[in-house]
Structure 1
Amino acid sequence: IGYLVLSLPLGKETVAVAAMGISLILIALGTGLFKGNLQVMVGRLYDEPQYASKRDSGFSLFYMAINIGAMFAPTAAIKIMKWAQESLSVSVEDSYHFAFAVACASLILSIAIYYAFSFTYKHVLASETKSKDDKTSAKETNELSKAETKERIICLCLVFAVVIFFWMAFHQNGNTLTLFARDYTQKTSEGLQSMAFDVTNLVACIFVVYGCFGLAQSKTGKGKGISLGVIVAAIAFLFYKYSNLEGAVDVEAPIFQQFNP
């Protein structure tokens, strides 16, 4: 709902400012409730003893998927904005709303996928129901004293105090640093360094790095051959892109987000 509100081109009036505030509150609430619960669900996928050893790999895939999306998002947003400006003749300010509309559509698609494949994690929901029943039955024996409860609440508040300021500082990369990039950095790049602003080149570099890991860790000739093939293909792609560079490349401020760790 928050991204849907952000996708509405309401201009710059008071209504637009209020709508943006409401949308940010909704996004914050939705993200807070969604992300924590999703992490718990991922962890419970591996509660069974035969899957427990794969838990770390599961979380690695989980976070890797999030970071892959974050790396492609700036390029996708810029392309959507330019499409809206060129094809629909909208202003630069209004073109931002189309990027948020696509984000809203992607969230709707993710919810549809979540429910469509719910049969694959029924055991997680079942174990959650069972754990609730177990907690209810053991409530009297495991109930904390007032002193213990107070101590834990104080610890949580101290953690909250640190975390709030940490994330306030961290997320300046999406606001203050983006404005800094817009106003105080060079708007064009050329030569070898310009390749860093093309996400496909970054992906090729990632393939080279992981190919090297695969080459070092593979214990079979077939595995080493595949890794070597990936490395050669990625380097060939990078060489092709470098040999076809055409002068200076325009650099949009949001594209710096793809370097955000």
Structure 2
Amino acid sequence: MFKNQPKGLIPAALSNMGERFGYYIMNAVLVLFLCSKFGLSEEKSALVYSFFYAGIYILSLVGGVIADKLQNYKGTIIWGLVIMTLGYVVLSIPILATSENTTWLLSLTCAALFFIAFGNGLFKGNLQAIVGQLYDNPKYASQRDAGFQIFYVFINIGGVLAPFIAPLLRGWWLGEHGLAYNAQLPELCHKFLGGETGADVVKGITDIANGMGATITDMSTFCSQYLEVFNTGIHYSFIASVAAMLISLCIFLATKKGLPSPGKKEQAAAVTYSAEEKKAMANEIKQRMYALFAVLAIAIFFWFSF
């Protein structure tokens, strides 16, 4: 499988796998985190997530433009990893959300998500450009398709394993405090602390607490404690993302000398085309663009309908 592949492929794949591992840990709990930490509705949390997810793709274009402008792809990748790490560090700080600090804390969380999206834009596409140039060498040109298959296998490994980490860490931390995971309880706790003390809310909290073996002596204290412990467990998941990013950064720093620099390709000899050839190429490009936009429209409609 790895035979006749360039030496830089595996380090690049491992670096990308670490980044994807950290991203998918965070991605697995982001909406739940926004709901439980700040008491946002599912609709508002999904809206924040949608803007973040859109930023992942939009800022990838920005990252490519920056790398092309600076002609420093490796430096852009390193800065992308550093900026993403900073974003995860901010998310991992377990600050208790209260009515007094919710506004600025939510703003800080959104800023951290922007850092992650922007860092992802600097990192992802530019690393793939470097991997692509590994196969510009005629010695490896025939292995390009197999190389990218290997590269994406590593990405999928990170994506498959990561979503299991967050629930494990959250469940472990809840268990350490004699509590258990329940997806409905954070919302009920926020309702009670927000002044909704109706019988249905109180009964819902009491039934769930009894089901996990917890004893309620004071409802407000229990709700505050559960939210704090629940959210701290999620913060530990973000610490795992920080660790994954640091590992990815270390791998890339240790192996970057063995990777090519797309900005340093030898300049190709100038080629002149006749007017007819230029017209034919322009028509071909138009057809490809139409096909690309058609595929994008289908993809957008598919994810929009999710």
Q: C-alpha separation between the residues in 1 aligned to 2:139 and 2:110?
A: 47
One-letter amino acid matched to 2:114: I
Q: Note the C-alpha offset of 1:103.
A: 0.6
Q: Structure 1, unaligned stretches of length 5 or more?
A: 173-261
Aligned residues: 163
The answer for the alignment partner of 1:249 in structure 2 is none
Q: C-alpha separation between the residues in 1 aligned to 2:95 and 2:172?
A: 20
**Residues 1:163 and 1:98: Cα distance change in structure 2 (over 3 Å):** farther
Question: Which stretch shifts more, 84-93 or 160-169?
Answer: 160-169
Does the residue aligned with 1:4 lie in a helix, a strand or coil? helix
Q: 1:189-236 CA deviation, whole Å, 9 max, x = no partner?
A: xxxxxxxxxxxxxxxxxxxxxxxxxxxxxxxxxxxxxxxxxxxxxxxx
The answer for the alignment partner of 2:88 in structure 1 is 3
One-letter amino acid matched to 1:35: K
Query: Is 1:98 equivalent to 2:236 in the alignment?
Result: yes
Q: C-alpha separation between the residues in 1 aligned to 2:96 and 2:294?
A: 39
The answer for the alignment partner of 1:115 in structure 2 is 253
Greater RCO structure (CA 8 Å; 6+ sep): 2
CA RMSD of aligned residues (A): 3.8
Q: How does 1:43-122 map to 2 (within 5 A)?
A: 43-87=132-176, 91-121=229-259
Q: Structure 2, unaligned stretches of length 5 or more?
A: 1-85, 179-227
Q: C-alpha separation between the residues in 1 aligned to 2:233 and 2:121?
A: 28
Does the residue aligned with 1:94 lie in a helix, a strand or coil? helix
Q: C-alpha separation between the residues in 2 aligned to 1:168 and 1:83?
A: 33
Q: C-alpha separation between the residues in 2 aligned to 1:80 and 1:2?
A: 20
Q: Note the C-alpha offset of 1:47.
A: 0.8
Query: Is 1:22 equivalent to 2:160 in the alignment?
Result: no
The answer for the alignment partner of 1:37 in structure 2 is 126
TM-score under structure 1 length normalisation:
0.50
Q: Report sequence identity in percent.
A: 33
Q: C-alpha separation between the residues in 2 aligned to 1:160 and 1:23?
A: 32
The answer for the alignment partner of 2:14 in structure 1 is none
One-letter amino acid matched to 2:160: M
The structure 2 residue matched to 1:128, chosen from 256, 263, 266, is 263
Q: C-alpha separation between the residues in 1 aligned to 2:298 and 2:115?
A: 20
Q: Note the C-alpha offset of 1:87.
A: 4.3
Q: 1:68-119 CA deviation, whole Å, 9 max, x = no partner?
A: 1111111112112223334478611221111011111111111111011123
Does the residue aligned with 1:91 lie in a helix, a strand or coil? helix
Q: Note the C-alpha offset of 1:9.
A: 1.7
Q: Note the C-alpha offset of 1:39.
A: 0.9
The answer for the alignment partner of 1:242 in structure 2 is none
Q: C-alpha separation between the residues in 1 aligned to 2:153 and 2:138?
A: 24
Q: 1:25-51 CA deviation, whole Å, 9 max, x = no partner?
A: 111111122111011111111111110
**Residues 1:163 and 1:32: Cα distance change in structure 2 (over 3 Å):** farther
**Residues 1:81 and 1:163: Cα distance change in structure 2 (over 3 Å):** farther
Question: Which stretch shifts more, 8-17 or 33-42?
Answer: 8-17
Q: C-alpha separation between the residues in 1 aligned to 2:116 and 2:294?
A: 22
Q: How does 1:155-234 map to 2 (within 5 A)?
A: 162=297, 165=300, 169=304
Q: C-alpha separation between the residues in 1 aligned to 2:118 and 2:299?
A: 14
Does the residue aligned with 2:265 lie in a helix, a strand or coil? helix
Q: C-alpha separation between the residues in 2 aligned to 1:128 and 1:164?
A: 31
TM-score under structure 2 length normalisation:
0.44
One-letter amino acid matched to 2:253: Y
The answer for the alignment partner of 2:200 in structure 1 is none
Q: Note the C-alpha offset of 1:19.
A: 1.4
Q: C-alpha separation between the residues in 2 aligned to 1:48 and 1:97?
A: 44
